[in-house]
Amino acid sequence: STTINVAIIGRPNVGKSSLLNKIFGSDRAIVSPMAGTTRDTIDAVMSKSGPTPDSPPTLYRFVDTAGIRKKGKVEFGPEFFM
């Protein structure tokens, strides 16, 4: 089978975790209005059957990442020490 990796990246608090939850139709990632809720990457795997019954399924690994900020824009707190 083939594995396709998809990283969900972007600025803090723009809905990356919400997008992951919507794709999978369940609460895979914690969602909060407070920026910095996701600190570690969260991955989830989805399997889609091939075009024919004989072909192996394709696996999709979605990775939800923490928000990306410029070094100078990080305020004192947990992100400051990363």
The per-residue pLDDT for range 45-82, each reduced to its tens digit, is 999 988 888 889 999 999 998 877 666 665 655 554 45
Is the torsion defined by CA of 62, 64, 69, 71 positive or negative? negative
The confidence score (pLDDT) of residue 60 equals 95
The answer, yes or no, to whether residue 21 has pLDDT greater than 70, is yes
More confident of the two residues 39 and 11: 11
The confidence score (pLDDT) of residue 78 equals 52
Tokens representing 48 are: 């889609």
Q: What backbone phi and psi angles, to 5 degrees, belong to 16?
A: -65, -45
